[in-house]
Amino acid sequence: MRLTSSPHFYACLYIAVGLLAAFNIFEIVFMLFHKNRLDKSEIEKELLKHRISTAIITVTDPSEVLPKPVNAMNYAAYNEAVSSIIESFEGEIVERATKLIYKFEIDLYYKRLSRTTIWFKRAHAIDMLSSLKLKKNREFFYAVFKSEPVKEVRYRILYGLSRLARDREDIYSISKLLATLPYLTAKYTEDVFLNTITALKNAGKEEEFGFFLKQIMTNSGIPLKIKRDCLSACYLAGCERDGLIVKEYYNAFQNEPAIIIACIRTLANVDPGILPEVLHHKDWRVRLTALKYAHLGGTDLLHDLKDLVHDSNYHIRLNAALALSKLGDAGLEILRGETASTDKFAANAAKYALTGAEAAS
């Protein structure tokens, strides 16, 4: 018997289609209602933020003219307004904003939230606390790190801690805790160390990071990747302008391309004398990084670059040719000579670099 010949088939079909349509309509109405509620809440939050900021700017004790936060939206508005001020300003305005946090117990609200059973709510609470940069939270962060089972939250706790670093011992503790977690990304680790450098700079103790770098150089408990990211953060923050400690890393880790690459970025500017050596390093990634800074070595490197146009690695050949194209007439002359080379890969790289140089001029 065919299904469609059943006397109830069309009745059932109509009911099913009707139910589906009703469900869809309900879903759309629900989503519109929810969107409207969120929009309204966002507008209210922005208005409250504006009110909070105005009070902080104009009143000595803003808590006297502001309402106490009563719900999550209110707390979020207070947190965002205050953390924006703490992040961007210094002086009396920051003191007022900080006073407001304590007066309305905004930190306590997020501390309570950081103990809920739902991990992403805890993560959010940690992010909020982290943005407030309250020195008092250092011990709290250490305590929650110990008890926190979810690694996604632990990464955030460390990020928060990194913004409160006082000295080399604090950075060392953060590095040891970092080493207990699976490596996340170079960007994350660099940001953590950049935060510590910023915190130390703000406290007038920038040199502490240099001491820390020296302290961990021979420490086998700190993974190589973390050491590399420390060096990168140091370069990004310009905290090792004389390059002395970086040079020690460079000498001590000759067989570790990742460390050498991180060192080149700092040293190429302060000690271009290392360039001929790293341009002939056995690891092609080191040679490639060195090529990016070859212009700092000037025409002294012409012969090294000419050799590298015949390198075994395609990226090196091409970048050597590009580096030559940036070294003026002498570099261009070598490239012109290379276009007739029997090494067809070198000739192609030279032609490509010459075309680019001609287009630029």
Partner 1 sequence: MAKILIVDDDDTILLIFRTHLSKAGHLVETAVDGVDALEKTSSFKPDLILLDINMPRMSGFEVVKNLKENAETKDIPIFIMTSLKQDANIKRAYELGINEYITKPINIEHLKLRIDKFLGKTCS
- Interface residues toward partner 1, by CB under 8 A: 46, 49-50, 53-54, 57-58, 80-81, 84-91, 93-94, 198, 201-202, 236-238
Nearer to partner 1, 50 or 151 (CB): 50
Minimum CB separation of residue 264 from partner 1 in Å reads 15
Whole-angstrom distance, CA of residue 358 vs CA of residue 361: 5
Closest to partner 1 by CB, 88 vs 312, is 88
> Is the CB of 57 or the CB of 143 nearer to partner 1?
57
Report in angstroms how near the CB of residue 348 gets to partner 1 at its nearest: 32
Cα gap 246→236, rounded to integer Å: 13
Q: What angle do CA 314, 315, 318 make, to 5 degrees?
A: 85
Rounded CA gap, 268 and 235, in Å? 11
Which CB sits closer to partner 1, 82 or 291?
82
**Interaxial angle between packed helices 207-217 and 168-180, expressed in degrees from 0 to 180 and rounded to the nearest 10:** 50
Provide the minimum distance between the beta carbon of 164 and partner 1 in the complex, in angstroms, as a whole number: 15
* Residue number, 103 or 265, with CB nearest to partner 1: 265
For the CB of residue 57, give the shortest distance to partner 1 in the complex, in Å.
5
> DSSP for 287-345?
HHHHHHTGGGGGGGGHHHHHHHTT-SSHHHHHHHHHHHHTSHHHHHHHHHHHTT-S-HH
Question: Smallest distance, Å, CB 4 to partner 1?
Answer: 56
Cα separation, 285 vs 114, in Å, equals 43
